[in-house]
Structures are given as C-alpha cells and as structure tokens.
Amino acid sequence: MKESGSHRWVALFPVLALLAVLFGGGLSLGLLRSFGFQPLLGESELTLRHYSAVLSDPDFLPNLGHTLLVAAVSTTLSAVLGLAMAAGLLASARTFGALRFLLRVPVVLPHLVAAFMVADFLSQGGILARLLYLVGVLDEMQDFPPLVNDRHGVGVILVYVWKEAPFVALMVLGVLDHAGRRLAEAARTLGASRFQTWTRVLLPLAWPATATASLFVFAYDFGAFEVPYLVDAAHPSTMAVWAFRRHVDADLLQRPEGVALCMIIAAMSLALVYLYVGKTNSWMARRMVAGIEPRLQHPGEEPR
Amino acid sequence: MKAWRHQGAGVLVWMCAIAVVLPLLTALIASVAEGWAWPALLPSQLTFRWWASDALHGPVASALFTTVTVALCVTFVCALISIPAARALALSDFPGKHTVEAMLLLPVIVPPIAVVTGMQHVMIVLGLADTFFGVVLAHVVPAAPYMLRVLKTAYAAGGGRLEEQARNLGASATQTFLRVTLPVLAPGLVVGGTLAFLVSTGQYLLTFMCGGGRVLTLPLLLYPHAAAGNRPIAAVLSILLSVPGMLFILAAEAYLHRKLRDREVYFV
Amino acid sequence: MPEIRLAGVHKSLGGRRVLDGLDLLVRDGELLALLGPSGAGKTTMLKLVAGLLSADSGEVLVDGRSVSSYGRSPAVMVFQDYRLFPHMTVEENVAFGLRVRGQGRRAFDAARDMLGRLQLSGLEGRFPSELSGGQAQRVALARALVVQPEILLLDEPFANLDPALKEELRELLRGMRSSLGFTSILVAHDQRDAFALADRVAVMLSGRIVQVESPANLCIAPAGPEVEALVGHASVISAVAHPTHLDCPLGRWPAEMLAPQYRDLLARATASGPAPVRIILRQDSICVFPDEGGRHA
C-alpha cells in the first residue's frame, strides 16, 4: 500500500501513546525507583543497594525456586495433558462436539474464578475428598492431603493445569483438525501404519503449536499474581506475591526493594521469551504448515 | 481401516471431560446449597437465599454493573485505537516496524506486578487514579495487544486488497472504510472484542491498585470471600463474574457461525 | 497388478448423496481417466479406493479383496492440494513412503534419483513452504512414484503446470507405466490430459458412471448431450495411413502433424503396409485411431 509515511504514524499513535504512557511510564518509574530514585523522599541518587538487598535476602532463592518449580511443572503437565487431549479427540471415533465446546470454559473463565473453583474442589473438605471417602479410599477428612496452600505449590499447579491444558489442547487441535487430517490421509496412502502416521506426521505437526502455547503458559505462570495470592502458601511464595507483599504490606523503607524485585521478575520474563523466540523463529518459519493449499499462481510468480 | 483412530482414545477424553466439568458443577451446586457439610456428595437442601440476599442488593449488584461497564468500555476503546494501528501494521512496511511490534507485545510478556505500581503513580499524576476511566485505560493496556493481533491477521488476510479495489472503483476513503473495511473486519472485531472483554473482567491486580478501592469490580469482592472459604457466597460471585463473559462468547460464536459457515472458528 | 472393482457403491457426505450406485471396473495395469464436472464425486471415489473413506453400501474391491480388509493402504494417492509434510524437507518427503516400509537405506538415494527425473535436483533441502506451486506438485508426484506403487491414484496432478512441463510429466508417467505396469486412476480436469494418457475414460455424472470407453469411442459416440458437453464435439473422417503420411479427403497430411503418441501408433499400424484409419477431429485437437471395427490399438 502506498501511503505517506506520516499517515501510518498517526494511525499508530493512539495505541503507542497509551501503552507508552501507562505501560512504559509505569515500567520506567518502577525502574527508576528500584535504583533508588525517590525525589519525594529526598533520594535522587541511583544506587544498586535495593537490588543487592533483594538478592541477598534469605527468601530470594527459595521463592525463586518455588516460582520456577511451579511454572515448570505446570507448563510440562499442561503440555503433556493438552497434547494427549488433542490427540485423544482426534483419534477417537466419536466427534465429542460437546467436549470441544466444554474445553473452552476453563480457558475463558477468569483466573480468580478458576482458582476458587479448583481450590475448593481439591480442598480437604472438597468434593474430590468426599468422592474418595465414599469409595473407601479415605477414612476421614484429615486423611486427604492438604493440596491447597501447601508448601510445594501443588494447589497452584493443579489450578494452572486445569486452566492451561485445555488451552494447549485447543491450540494443537487448531493445527491437527485441519492440516493434520489431510496430512494423515496422505501419509496413510503412502503406506504408513497408524503408529507411523502419528509419530512421523501428526505429532511433529503438533509440536510447534505445543511449544508456542507452552511458552505463553510458562511466561504467565512465572509472573502471575492472582492465583498464587489465593491458593499458595505464605512460605515459600511465588515471586509476584512476594513482591506484592513487600510493596503493600511492608513499610515505606522496604518498598523500593519490592519494586526492585518486580524489575527482576520482568527482566527474567523478557529474557525467557526473547531467548525462545530468537532461537525458534527461523526454525519454525521454514516449516510453516502453509505448504498444503495449492496457491493460485500468477504466471512467472516466484516461490515464496 | 480407519485412518488414525483408536479405540482407547475415548477413555482418555472422557476422563478429561470429567476433570473439567466437576469443579464447575460443584460451584454451581454450591451456590444453591443449604448446609453442604462433609461428607455429603450433594447438599441436603437447596436454597436460593445466597442469590437473593447478595445478588440483588448492595455492593454485589453495583460491582457486577461496574465490571460489565468497564469491560464494555475497554472493548470499545481497544477497538478504537487498534483498528487504525492494525491497518498500519498489516499493510505497510516501515523502518522500525519490528521494534514497534515487539514493543506492542510487551504488555503480554511482562507480568503485571512489575508495572502496576509505576502505573498507579502515572495515573495519580494524570489525575486518573481511583476513577472509572482510569481503570478502563489500565485494562486496555493488557487487552490491546490481543485485539491488535487479531485485527492485524484479519487485515492481512485480504483487507488491504479489498480496500485497493474499492478505491479503484471510485469510493472515497470514508466510503471504503464504512462499506468495505468494517464489514470485512467484523469477524476479527468480534473475536478481538471477546478477548478484550474477557481480559477486562478477569483483572484483579490492576483494578485493585489503580482503582484504589473506589472502583469496585467483582474480582475485588470475590477475593476476600474465596480466601475466607465462604463457599456459597464465593460460588455466587464466581458465577456472576463468569456469566457476562460466557454470554459474550456465545453471542460472538453465533454471529461468527452465521458469517463464516464453512470455516470452524474458535476465537481461542 | 491388481484390478479395482466398485459395485453398487453409495456414499453420502455431509448429508449429500455423493456417489449413487456407482459401478466401475479398472482392469489390472490399465490407466483409467475419470472425467466429470466438479462435485461429481471423483475425489470421493478415489478416497474410497484408497481406504480413507468407507462406502455406505456396496463393495470396493482391490485384487478381489475388500479395501477395508487391508491393513495398509492398497493404493498410493496424489492429492489435489499436494499435502507435502511441512516439517520435512523435500528429500524427506519423497523418501517418506520407502522409509515407512522399512527401506530406509535406499530411501534417500531413490528419492534423489526420482527428484532428478522430475527436474527437481537442487531442491532436496528445501521445505515445502519454500516451493512454487509447480515444484510442490512435482514433489508430490515424486513422493508417490518413488514407492513403485501397484495402484496409483492421481487427483488432478497436472493442474498447476505449464504445457511444456505437462508434456514431460505425461512422458514420465507413460514411461513408468510401461516399466512398472501399475493400475491407475487419473482424475483430470483437462480432457487432453485424460485422453493423452488413458487406456479408457470413465465419465461420471451425479455420482454414477455413465460411460466407460476408449478415448476414441468416447469422442465418436458420447452417451448423451451431457457427456458430449464434457468431452467436446468431434467429427470423424476416414483416411488411409502410410508410414509417412495420411491420405484423407482433406488432403495429404504428413506424419509430423501428429502428436508423439500418435506417431508411434502410426508406425505400428503401417508396419505391414498402408492401413485404413479414422481421424477424429476434436474441437481442440486432432487424434488418429486405427479403424479396426472400433477396437483401439
């Protein structure tokens, strides 16, 4: 499209302005504050002491470890279960139209709602415990392990998986449902067995979708606040909740440290995403699923 | 010889179905349960008093109203600012485009906790803190990238070429926009709008910090009850919070189904 | 080589009757072209033979056995939309069929050889997203041919190719047929492709086969106006063939006027002296078939 340069900047201005002011401004202010720049308190020299205070805090490593563990386990479980669900839906004889619709419910429910529902379901007096009691696996309420608010974050992980495995499944189905079916047909007519079709064609096809979905899931799980705030134990807590408590609950002197912690969280998330994207972008681009539809070719058109 | 089907797959699918449904069902029953103590699988009595007492009066009703109106405004503002931006990104190439696109993705990657205190500060300076409009703008920040992405895809899929054709046939810029662009974008707007609406209804941290307790949305009410373990009330609030989003989605899907009959469209 | 038989086949898709009592016999080693308007059910029939769909009623037999009794697909199919595996290189795509049959060792050599024959050398390392339409189509063909199938199903394999390339591929297909002798069904939109390659042509209308004939007889005696509309109007004149020319009421035509496949025919027909022939003048081409009481050579 031939348009004058200024046109497109005018078009982009509202979005960029809003994000720059609120998001960029917020991030910058946080950054400045984390370096000790609080003019209202008479501090205008940049310093690293807040960062060192955070890094040397005895809670830092346990909380970081806890956060990474929760995020990694959730992501892995979501990826595996999501992939299995998608494969199951594709491979089953029935259409399961209702379930496909149902799969979207966990994805669209607000995180707090999901957290409450799943946590309640898994609590010691919850329905799962009662079902196990009914079947005779439990003798009394206390026998059911406290999954919610426990030190290992099991409750948080299960909430995340409940919400995110369907997300992964839907992403994978997006690829497998259309391209996957056609390519599976081609593989079958070329002589592949069912097993070979799955391992050589369908699963490799599902992999990029799974990987991308998993990246989003991990990035979210790492820095999320709402779910662990409700469901997680106090010690160790996830980084986001720890930062929140330091900011809101702590006294003024501790606040810059809270902000420094936030900056660390942000930096880690960014590093993670850009590392992944940088490494896989070209790898994935060449293997785009596009090679299936015959394109309407103009005479003399160059290959893509 | 079935191409890739297998008998056992159905079992796995059923198990997942149950795992998804049970918590939902539990909450639904809890909202109308009278005294649902251990170890009963079903409540001894059903009652609507949780709904009657809370839902129709007081802070809950106004919180619901606030939540929905905020979400609707967020959707509207997102659409307003995203349509021209998506167009620029989809149709033109310019130096710095990749940087801009990367920056527009930041709100999705950077966790809200990192930005929220600074954002609160900025809003105080701008006089937007603790205001309805301020909360709306705060919600637009995480919602806009999603709508932008959807619209950009919609545009790239042919909007540009159609506009070119319309102009070529003699339509003015405004006519092109109203008669060609908007209708072509409509499915994308519906999908993106649904995403924006959902992002907004689910917000807790942003509303808490930027609304300062003056702008009360349902998530803010839900949290204390959920944390305290007030199952029936929390269940009622959960359902109330979920309903607007679900209605929006159902409407969106009905619309999309009519428009794009042959293609399967799940906005997620 | 196996023969394919469909008897009384009915198939509905999405509530619509696609195949309505279809009967067809494809003799072993023959190439049968399937002609018909879009939506007549040609692709569906191919899928039934490949075992990707099962008939609602009726029988689909390959080599006397029902298709559903085969563990692996009895037929190799080349699809209209290529269906190249996007996560594999061109080479890996072409080698796929051999590798899944446990012939991994010779798979890549055979693949490279076939790619060379289709003038795709140099593209081995590319991914399908990096190919043009014509290249992708040839890779799909290579992938099927390298397996040396007993049955080959081709769904509009020449759609995206320019005429020169089409001719070369037709030659290649003819060559492979004579050396390997597979049974094949070809769905072609352009009847010229069908007529050039086919032993017999089957015309499909509204889900059933309405005529199966040699290309010549189809031109001469189409079974009804719809078939004629598909096949194109033709006129027939008698002539005498000599090794170097044809004598007909329109004058003396040198043999060079004929397309390559008809020159071979001419040589064989006139091996023992001049022979009577019929010339079929179609709307868009001229074909020559020997006049031997309707039997084609």
Q: What percent of chain C has pLDDT over 70?
A: 93
Report yes or no on A113 lying in a domain.
Answer: yes
**Residue A96, token pair as written in the block:** 């399961």
Q: Which residue in A has a C-alpha nearest to residue B231's C-alpha?
A: A120
Q: Which residue in C has a C-alpha nearest to residue B4's C-alpha?
A: C52
Average pLDDT score over residue span C13-39:
87
Average pLDDT score over residue span B226-235:
86
In this complex, which of A9, A18, A88 lies closest to B140 when CB atoms are compared? A18
Q: Which residue in B has a C-alpha nearest to residue C55's C-alpha?
A: B1
Q: What is the pLDDT of residues B97-146, one digit of tens each?
A: 888 888 888 888 899 988 888 898 899 888 888 889 999 999 999 999 99
Residue B173, pLDDT above cutoff 70: yes
Tell whether A115 is within 8 A of chain B (Cβ): yes
Pair A211, A258 in one domain: no
Question: Are residues A117 and B26, on separate chains, in Cβ contact within 8 Å?
Answer: yes
Question: Are residues A290 and C82, on separate chains, in Cβ contact within 8 Å?
Answer: no
Q: How far does B59 lie from chain A, in Å, by closest CA?
A: 18
Q: d(Cα A146, Cα B104) in Å, to the nearest integer? A: 41
A:21-60 residues touching chain B, CB 8 A cutoff:
21-23, 25-31, 33
Containing H/E element for B79?
Answer: helix B58-91
Average pLDDT score over residue span C160-165:
79
Report yes or no on A197 lying in a domain.
Answer: yes
Tell whether B94 is within 8 A of chain A (Cβ): yes
Q: What angle do CA A86, A89, A94 make, to 5 degrees?
A: 175
Q: Which of A12, A89, A135, A248 to mutate to test the interface with B (most CBs of B within 10 A)?
A: A12
Q: What's A203's domain CATH number? A: 1.10.3720.10
Q: d(Cα A294, Cα A288) in Å, to the nearest integer? A: 14
Number of domains into which chain A is organized: 2
- Residue C76, C-beta contacts closer than 8 angstroms, at least 6 positions apart: A189, A190, A191, C97, C144, C147, C149, C151, C152, C153
Report the candidate in C32, C22, C35, C21 with the shortest Cα–Cα distance to residue C177: C32
- B contacts of C72 (beta carbons < 8 Å): 1
Question: Are residues A23 and B219, on separate chains, in Cβ contact within 8 Å?
Answer: no
Report yes or no on A107 lying in a domain.
Answer: yes
C93, C128 contact by CB (below 8 A): yes
Question: Are residues A29 and B121, on separate chains, in Cβ contact within 8 Å?
Answer: yes
pLDDT confidence tier of residue B152, bands split at 50, 70 and 90: confident
Report yes or no on A286 lying in a domain.
Answer: no
Q: How far does A293 lie from chain B, in Å, by closest CA?
A: 15
Instruction: State which of A234, A260, A293 marks the end of a domain.
Output: A234
Pair A195, A259 in one domain: no
Q: Which residues pair with C167 in a beta bridge?
A: none
Pair A198, A214 in one domain: yes
Instruction: Tell me the Ramachandran region of residue B183: left when phi exceeds 0, alpha when psi lies from -120 to 50, beta otherwise.
Output: alpha
Q: Which residue in C has a C-alpha nearest to residue B5's C-alpha?
A: C52
Q: What angle do CA B12, B15, B20 make, to 5 degrees?
A: 125
B133 phi/psi in degrees, rounded to 5: -65, -35
B:140-199 residues touching chain A, CB 8 A cutoff:
140-141, 144, 148, 160, 163-164, 198
Question: Are residues A191 and C144, on separate chains, in Cβ contact within 8 Å?
Answer: no
Q: What angle do CA B226, B228, B233 make, to 5 degrees?
A: 50
Report yes or no on A166 lying in a domain.
Answer: yes
Report yes or no on A182 lying in a domain.
Answer: yes
Mean pLDDT, consecutive 10-residue stretches, chain A (304 aa), reads: 65 89 90 79 75 85 90 94 88 73 88 91 82 78 75 88 93 85 91 89 88 88 90 81 75 71 89 78 65 30 31
More confident residue, B94 or B24: B24
Pair A262, A162 in one domain: no
Give the 3-state secondary structure of chain C: CCCEEEEEEEEEECCEEEEEEEEEEECCCCEEEEECCCCCCHHHHHHHHHCCCCCCEEEEEECCEEHHHCCCCCCEEECCCCCCCCCCCHHHHHHHHHHHCCCHHHHHHHHHHHHHHCCCCCCCCCCHHHCCHHHHHHHHHHHHHCCCCCEEEEECCCCCCCHHHHHHHHHHHHHHHHHHCCEEEEECCCHHHHHHHCCEEEEEECCEEEEEECHHHHHHCCCCHHHHHHHCCEEEEEEEECCCEEEECCEEEEHHHCCHHHHHHHHHHCCCCCEEEEEEEECCCEEEEECECCECC
Q: B109-141 b/e with 16+ CB inside 10 Å = b?
A: bbbbbbbbbbbbbbbeeeebbbbeebbbbbbbb
**Residue B105, token pair as written in the block:** 């993705």
Tell whether A172 is within 8 A of chain B (Cβ): no
- Residue A216, C-beta contacts closer than 8 angstroms, at least 6 positions apart: none
Query: Which of B142-146, B206-210, C194-198 has the lowest average pLDDT?
Result: C194-198
Question: Which value, to the nearest 10 degrees, does the dihedral of the CA atoms of residues C36, C38, C40, C43 take?
Answer: 90
Question: Are residues C68 and B3, on separate chains, in Cβ contact within 8 Å?
Answer: no
Pair A227, A250 in one domain: no
Tell whether A48 is within 8 A of chain C (Cβ): no
Residue B219, pLDDT above cutoff 80: yes
Q: Which residue in B has a C-alpha nearest to residue C51's C-alpha?
A: B1
Which segment, C89-93, C213-217, C261-265, is predicted with the most confidence on average?
A: C89-93
**Residue A35, token pair as written in the block:** 């370096």
Give the 3-state secondary structure of C106-158: HHHHHHHHHHHHCCCCCCCCCCHHHCCHHHHHHHHHHHHHCCCCCEEEEECCC
A:254-283 residues touching chain B, CB 8 A cutoff:
258-259, 262-263, 265-266, 269-270, 273
Q: How far does C6 lie from chain A, in Å, by closest CA?
A: 18
Report yes or no on A162 lying in a domain.
Answer: yes
Average pLDDT score over residue span C220-245:
80
In this prediction, residue B214 carries a pLDDT of: 83
Pair A99, A130 in one domain: yes
Which segment, B6-20, B109-123, B173-187, C215-229, is predicted with the most confidence on average?
A: B109-123
More confident residue, C4 or A50: C4
C208 phi/psi in degrees, rounded to 5: -135, 160
Touching subunits for chain C (3+ Cβ pairs under 8 A): A, B
Domains of chain B (ranges, CATH numbers): 50-259 (1.10.3720.10)
In this prediction, residue A296 carries a pLDDT of: 28
Q: d(Cα A222, Cα A210) in Å, to the nearest integer? A: 18
Q: Which residue in B has a C-alpha nearest to residue C52's C-alpha?
A: B3
Pair A196, A212 in one domain: yes
Name the DSSP class of B41: S
Residue C287, pLDDT above cutoff 70: no
Residue C169, pLDDT above cutoff 70: yes
Report yes or no on A8 lying in a domain.
Answer: no
In this prediction, residue A302 carries a pLDDT of: 32
Query: Which of B44-48, B58-62, B127-131, B218-222 has the lowest average pLDDT?
Result: B44-48
* CA C199, C205, C206, C210 torsion-angle sign: negative
Tell whether A1 is within 8 A of chain C (Cβ): no
- C contacts of B3 (beta carbons < 8 Å): 52
Question: Are residues B114 and A265, on separate chains, in Cβ contact within 8 Å?
Answer: yes
Pair A176, A230 in one domain: yes
Mean confidence (pLDDT) of chain C: 84
Query: Which of A169-183, B29-43, B105-119, C202-216 has the lowest average pLDDT?
Result: B29-43
In this complex, which of A288, A293, A302 lies closest to C81 when CB atoms are compared? A293
Question: Are residues A202 and B26, on separate chains, in Cβ contact within 8 Å?
Answer: no
Domains of chain C (ranges, CATH numbers): 4-222 (3.40.50.300), 233-290 (no CATH)
**Residue A49, token pair as written in the block:** 């002491």
Instruction: Tell me the Ramachandran region of residue A302: left when phi exceeds 0, alpha when psi lies from -120 to 50, beta otherwise.
Output: beta
Q: What percent of chain B has pLDDT over 90?
A: 22
Tell whether A77 is within 8 A of chain B (Cβ): no
In this prediction, residue A261 carries a pLDDT of: 87
In this prediction, residue B56 carries a pLDDT of: 57
Tell whether A196 is within 8 A of chain B (Cβ): no
Pair A153, A225 in one domain: yes
Q: How far does A270 lie from chain B, in Å, by closest CA?
A: 7
Pair A83, A201 in one domain: yes
Residue C295, pLDDT above cutoff 50: no
Residue B69, pLDDT above cutoff 90: yes
In this prediction, residue C292 carries a pLDDT of: 60
Pair A229, A80 in one domain: yes
B:241-260 residues touching chain A, CB 8 A cutoff:
241-242, 245-246, 249
Residue C39, pLDDT above cutoff 70: no
Residue C1, pLDDT above cutoff 80: no
> Domain containing A261: what range?
31-59+236-278
Q: How far does C225 lie from chain A, in Å, by closest CA?
A: 32
Please enumerate residues of C whose Cβ is less than 8 A from a Cβ of A.
47, 50-52, 71-73, 75-77, 79-87, 96-97, 100-101, 127-137, 143-144, 147, 153, 159-160
Touching subunits for chain A (3+ Cβ pairs under 8 A): B, C
Q: What is the pLDDT of residues C240-261, one digit of tens each?
A: 888 888 888 888 888 887 776 6
- B contacts of A121 (beta carbons < 8 Å): 22-23, 26
Mean confidence (pLDDT) of chain B: 84
Pair A126, A249 in one domain: no
Q: What is the pLDDT of residues B9-24, one digit of tens each?
A: 777 788 888 888 888 9
